[in-house]
Amino acid sequence: MRLELKSELEKTIRDENNIRFKMYYFLEETEKSIDFMVSQILGQYNRLEYKAAILTIIKELCKNAVEANLKKIFFDDIEIKIENDFQYKKGKERFEEELKNKTLLETAELAKEKGLYAELNLDYNPHRIIINVINNRMLWPIEEKEIQDNSKKAHKYNNILSFYKEVKKNKNIPKNGITLIMLLLKSENHDAKFFTIEKINAKNETLTSMKIIFPLSREYYK
């Protein structure tokens, strides 16, 4: 991480100012910057015990957002009709294979070229951290349904370990990030209502916001 960026982030966090971080893909440098931000925020409030959970939530939300953008680019190129369930399923399989064959830098450059990005917003104080990841495109209805279905799946598992055991036992069960996020909230005894998906109208475009409130102390509930 550049020294100027590190110093700027340290001052921003000391002053409890919101952080906005734009990305085209979840690159290694992005991950390091987010790790630093989360460590500084939680360290400031003596809440480093939540670091692993919060980092996982941020990573899964960001990856979900940027991959949704790349999927749109891919579907537009091969002219997939998203309202056709069969075409959507096959197109998604082809997209996942395509993603494996590209370097992370290639995917980031592709998204940048098309002007599609995700923005991470962190709003924090000693009692809670609000994680908000915004796509600069509207999710398709079928994508919204997938997210809702995956969030509901978390109810069938007692904990994260039982989820991973089933994934390991049955390869047909995808290890999806949304279910993992819901289980992380559940493991900390936080309500599912702390995870919301919203459409935002801004500057003649519709954005998608995925927001999570993560309490850091009991004072949050008072």
DSSP-assigned beta bridge partners for residue 209: 134, 198
This model's pTM is above 0.75: yes
- Please report whether residue 221 resides in a domain: no
Contact 176, 150 (CB under 8 A): yes
> In this predicted model, which residue has the larger pLDDT, 147 or 168?
147
pLDDT tens, residue by residue, 29-61: 889 999 999 999 999 999 999 999 999 999 999
- Please report whether residue 220 resides in a domain: no
Which of 117-126, 139-148, 161-170 ranks highest by mean pLDDT? Answer: 117-126
- Please report whether residue 103 resides in a domain: yes
Alpha-carbon span 180 to 57, nearest angstrom: 8
pLDDT tens, residue by residue, 154-200: 777 877 877 777 766 665 555 578 888 888 888 888 887 898 888 88
- Please report whether residue 164 resides in a domain: yes
Alpha-carbon span 21 to 31, nearest angstrom: 11
What letters, b where the CB count within 10 A reaches 16 and e where it falls short, cover 150-175? bbebbeebeebeebeeebeeeeeeee
- Please report whether residue 219 resides in a domain: no
Closest among 1, 7, 4, 33 to 20, alpha carbons compared: 33
Asked whether the predicted pLDDT for residue 129 surpasses 90, the reply is: yes
> In this predicted model, which residue has the larger pLDDT, 168 or 77?
77
Alpha-carbon span 4 to 188, nearest angstrom: 35
Q: What is the DSSP letter of 50?
A: G
- Please report whether residue 102 resides in a domain: yes
Which CA distances in Å does 123 have to 105, 133, 183, 195, 196? Answer: 29, 11, 22, 15, 15
Number of folded domains that form the chain:
1
pLDDT tens, residue by residue, 94-107: 888 888 777 767 77
Asked whether the predicted pLDDT for residue 206 surpasses 80, the reply is: no
- Please report whether residue 216 resides in a domain: no
Range of the domain at 165: 3-209
Percent of the chain with pLDDT over 70: 95
**Other CB atoms within 10 A of residue 24 CB:** 22
Average pLDDT over residues 115-144: 92
Q: What is the pLDDT of residue 99?
A: 80
- Please report whether residue 222 resides in a domain: no
Q: Where are the beta strands (DSSP E) in 44-194?
A: 118-125, 128-135
